[in-house]
Structure 1
């Protein structure tokens, strides 16, 4: 093989990423027969099979794993080059596509994105909310520039991404004024048997909170599971139960919803991360999010 056919290498890379010729053909907008023929041509050029079929699935051969390792490096670099070229010239508005995990409070998401919006260069922000797994897939497909999440996915499952720790917070418990006033006395034992409004998005901090309750011997009564951060606070305001939220937005939660803080729990943390492709943060908006200072002062 005198010269590597990069187009064929790219087709192989997409097939390995998508897991089947059918799904890869949709991404590449090619007929499956055409893509299968291109793969066969590439296999002939490299001198061996790159995939073998096992139970109707494509599985990489040893040669395929070797080629994929190089392909990952090659297309990671070309992707970074494309992003760098896409950002020039400096006076053009900068497009930033950000994925935000649905379990992150929207006010906190705003503070995480704020450094990018504060750039001197105009920024056109596109936000997508959803589950972390789906958002990381969008990042993998280059539909997103960055993913903000409260959970770091297993990198072995998702390829060569970089996880950047961002600001975190302890967790506080809130309730209507009457309920909070009663539960502050004798906390946390006062919570036993009291109504709890649960976060239905399986936010990691809520799982940690439930573990903390268990360690303290506290058993609350879950009366509702709500996946909307605003709706759960409305229920709490109406006296239907206790809810949890990050301490950094305590003042705003109390002001906006007319509730009171029962207590802050330093042992339970809401940890936040940004996930990016590669380590070279060519996108200045992504770099601002990952490296910039942000303020969580909601009293301003």
Structure 2
């Protein structure tokens, strides 16, 4: 395809994102007729209709969706090439890290510690939902995503999942709540519990264990943020079901105590990267 015109492809990508010829023309600072002509030339070159009109908007056809996937990949690779080669001559190299918003801050700090404080490294941290972060990773806006919920992988995905660490999960609370000597089953049945929200990896593991032990827990709070679970545990709201690493400082200072380690229950931490032509060399240090 030596005569393929990437100028046409850029116009197509803009129209696909905007969904409208007028807005796309304004974004590209050209006339609407020029955009329309470029799209028509691309359709002729590909032998496929890429859009169909629905009212005042343009909708991608099946061929259009395929073309957009390729366009995004092509231009993302170009951006990656420019950023990588421009960075080669700089003294400081950036590492862009995405982290699940609910992930333990202590784990994140421990993972990044080998490069923190280096004069030649700039760490850029971004938190968000799994969907947001994996999309940003696929678009090469991030170098790695830290998570305890790895993405689904299939033959079409380019994600590379590395298990970084795993931590036991314990029952953690202020000392007053755990003075009584109880078995794990009795404590889980009688004590108010601070649990992760349903659907999270930790919660699914806890629910599975509770079913196995025949326990119906008393739930004091369901929280989707580890930092908030730590604060609620410090306030004595209940016994938190969390990995000790989350409350490492509180345990060291006897503000909280771990009354039990839940048997056979671990939280795994993963680093998710994507196959790249020019991988960030800092990842070799961390992984």
Normalising to structure 2: TM-score of the pair? 0.79
> Quick check: 241-250 or 150-159, which moved more?
150-159
Q: What 5-or-longer segments of structure 1 have no aligned partner?
A: 292-300
Give yes or no for contact 1:13–1:71 (8 Å, CA) kept in 2.
yes
- The two structures, once aligned, show a CA RMSD in angstroms of 3.6
Q: Does 1:210 align with 2:212?
A: no
Q: Give the drift of 1:176.
A: 1.3
Matches within 5 A, 1:94-109: 94-109=93-108
State how far apart, in whole Å, the 1-side matches of 2:278 and 2:211 are.
41
Give a deviation string over 1:137-184, Cα, whole Å, max 9, x none: 2223433222111112234699533222221212111011122232x5
| TM-aligned CA distance change 1:122 to 1:77, over 3 Å | same
State how far apart, in whole Å, the 2-side matches of 1:173 and 1:115 are.
30
Q: Aligned with 1:40: secondary structure? A: helix
Q: Give the drift of 1:15.
A: 6.8
Q: Does 1:260 align with 2:257?
A: yes
Q: Does 1:219 align with 2:216?
A: yes
Q: What 5-or-longer segments of structure 2 have no aligned partner?
A: none
| TM-aligned CA distance change 1:270 to 1:53, over 3 Å | farther
Match of 1:181 in 2: 179
Match of 1:40 in 2: 40
Give a deviation string over 1:101-145, Cα, whole Å, max 9, x none: 012111111112223326x55222221112111112222343322
Count of equivalent residues? 281
Q: Give the drift of 1:249.
A: 5.2
Q: Does 1:235 align with 2:237?
A: no
| TM-aligned CA distance change 1:36 to 1:147, over 3 Å | farther
Q: Does 1:132 align with 2:137?
A: no
Match of 1:294 in 2: none
Alignment counterpart, residue 271 of structure 2, candidates 260, 274, 299: 274
Structure showing greater radius of gyration is 2
